[in-house]
Chain A
Amino acid sequence: MVERKGLRKIFSHLVLIFGVALVVTPIYVALVASTHDASDLLGRLPLWFGSHGSDNYSAILGTRLQEMGIASVGRQMFNSLVMAMGITVGKIIISLMAAYAIVFFRFPFRNLCFWMIFLTLMLPVEVRIVPTYEVVANLNMLDSYWGLTIPLIASATATFLFRQFFMTIPEELADAARIDGAGPVRFFFDVVLPLSRTNIAALFVILFIYGWNQYLWPLLVTTDENMYTVVMGRQRLVAVVDTEPEWNLIMATAVLAMLPPVAVVVGMQRLFVKGLVETEK
Chain B
Amino acid sequence: MQRRAVFNNKFLPYLFVLPQLVITLVFFIWPAYKALNMSFFMEDAFGLSREFIGLQNFATLFADDYYLHSLRTTLVFSLLTMLMSMGVSLLMAVMADSVIKGSTIYKTFIIWPYAVAPPLAGILWLFMFHPGCGVIAYALQGMGYEWNHLLNGNQAMALVVIAAAWKQISYNFLFFLAGLQAIPHSLVEAAAIDGAGPSRRFWTIIFPLLSPTTFFLMVVNVIYAFFDTFGIIHAVTQGGPAKATETLIYKVFNDGFIGLDFGGSAAQSVILMIIVCTLTVLQFRYVERRVNY
Q: Do the two chains bind?
A: yes
Check: A197 CB closer than 8 A to any chain B CB.
Answer: no
Asked if B127 contacts A213 (CB within 8 A), the reply is no
A154 to chain B, nearest CB (A): 4
Cβ of A266 and Cβ of B128 under 8 Å apart?
no
Closest B residue, CB atoms, query A276: B174
Please tell me which one of the listed residues A16, A130, A266 contacts residue B257 in the complex, with CB atoms under 8 A apart: A130
Most buried by A among B28, B220, B231: B28
Q: How far is the CB of B225 from chain A (nearest CB, A)?
A: 12
Flag whether A113 is at the interface (Cβ < 8 A). yes
Residue from B31, B112, B132, B216 in contact with A245 in the complex, judged by beta carbons closer than 8 Å: B132
A250 contact set on B, CB distance < 8 A: 123, 127
- Interface 0/1 of A98-119, CB less than 8 Å to B: 1011111111001001001101
User: With an 8 A cutoff between CB atoms, is B207 at the interface?
Assistant: no
8 A Cβ contacts from B255-282 to A: 256-257, 262, 265-266, 269, 272-273, 276-277, 280
Q: Are A97 and B38 in contact (CB under 8 A)?
A: no
From residue B43, how far is it (CB to closest CB) to chain A in Å?
A: 11
A120 near B24: Cβ-Cβ < 8 Å: yes
| Interface membership of A68, Cβ < 8 A | no
Residues in A neighbouring B28, C-beta threshold 8 A: 119-120, 123, 128, 154
Q: Mark A111-155, 1 if CB is under 8 A from B, else 0.
A: 001001101111110111111111110000000000000110110
Pair B108/A277 contact, Cβ less than 8 Å = no
Known: A130-B257, A232-B119, A235-B119. A215 touches B174 (CB 8 A): no
Judge whether A265 and B5 touch: CB under 8 Å. Answer: no
A254 touches B124 (CB 8 A): yes
Q: A2-B192, A277-B293 are in contact. Are A127 and B273 (CB under 8 A)?
A: yes
B243 at the interface (CB under 8 A from A): no
Q: Residue A74 at the B interface, CB < 8 A? A: no
Please give the distance in Å from A45's CB to the nearest CB on chain B: 5
B92: chain A residues at CB < 8 Å are: 15-16, 19
Write the chain A residue with the least CB distance to B97: A12
Q: Shortest CB–CB separation between residue A59 and chain B, in angstroms?
A: 18
A residues 232-249 in Cβ contact with B at 8 Å: 232, 234-235, 238, 245, 247
Does A195 belong to the interface (CB within 8 Å)?
no
| Alpha-carbon distance A220/B118, docked complex (angstroms) | 16
Tell me the smallest distance from the CB of A279 to a CB of chain B, in Å.
11
Check if B175 is an interface residue, CB within 8 A of chain A: yes
Give the chain A neighbours of B12 by CB distance below 8 A.
Answer: 101, 105, 184-185
Q: Is the CB of A128 within 8 A of B35?
A: yes
The number of residues on chain B lying at the interface, defined by a beta carbon within 8 Å of a beta carbon of chain A, is 101
- The answer on a CB contact under 8 Å between B91 and A23 is no
* Interface residue ranges of A1-52 to B (CB < 8 Å): 1-3, 5, 8-9, 12-13, 15-16, 19-20, 22-27, 29-30, 33, 41-45
Knowing A16-B99, A20-B110, A262-B116, the reply to whether A104 touches B31 (Cβ < 8 A) is no
Determine if B117 and A261 form an interchain contact, defined as CB atoms under 8 angstroms apart: yes
What A residues does B123 contact at CB under 8 A?
234, 238, 250, 254
Instruction: List residues of chain A with CB within 8 A of the CB of B273.
Output: 122-123, 127-128
A232 CB to closest chain B CB, in angstroms?
A: 7
Q: Which A residues are CB-close (under 8 A) to B14?
A: 101, 107
Expressed in whole angstroms, the Cα–Cα distance for A276 and B115 within the complex equals 12
Distance between A108 CB and nearest chain B CB, rounded to angstroms: 9
* A85 contacts chain B at the CB level, 8 A cutoff: no
B32: chain A residues within 8 A (beta carbon): 123, 128, 131
A1 touches B30 (CB 8 A): no
CA–CA, A280 and B284, complex, Å: 11
Asked if B209 lies at the interface with its beta carbon under 8 angstroms from chain A, I say no
Binding stretch for chain A, among B57-65, B133-141, B147-155: B133-141
A-B residue pairs in contact (CB < 8 Å), sample of 18: A15-B91, A20-B109, A26-B124, A98-B17, A101-B17, A102-B17, A105-B16, A123-B32, A126-B227, A130-B256, A133-B257, A174-B6, A184-B7, A213-B115, A258-B117, A261-B116, A273-B111, A276-B114
- Please name the 9 residue pairs, one residue from A and one from B, whose CB atoms are nearest each other, closest first: A213-B117, A131-B31, A101-B16, A106-B5, A105-B13, A261-B115, A131-B34, A26-B124, A215-B231
Binding site for A on B (CB under 8 A): 1, 3-10, 12-14, 16-17, 19-21, 23-32, 34-35, 38, 88, 91-92, 95-96, 98-99, 102, 106-121, 123-125, 127-128, 130, 132-135, 138, 166, 169, 171, 174-175, 178, 189, 192-193, 198, 216, 220, 223, 227-228, 230-231, 234-235, 249, 252-253, 256-257, 262, 265-266, 269, 272-273, 276-277, 280, 283, 289, 293
Write the residues of chain A forming the contact surface with B, with a CB cutoff of 8 angstroms.
1-3, 5, 8-9, 12-13, 15-16, 19-20, 22-27, 29-30, 33, 41-45, 93-95, 97-98, 100-107, 110, 113, 116-117, 119-124, 126-136, 150-151, 153-154, 159, 167, 171, 174-175, 178, 183-185, 187, 209, 212-213, 215-216, 219-220, 231-232, 234-235, 238, 245, 247, 250-251, 254, 257-258, 261-262, 264-266, 269, 272-273, 276-277, 280-281
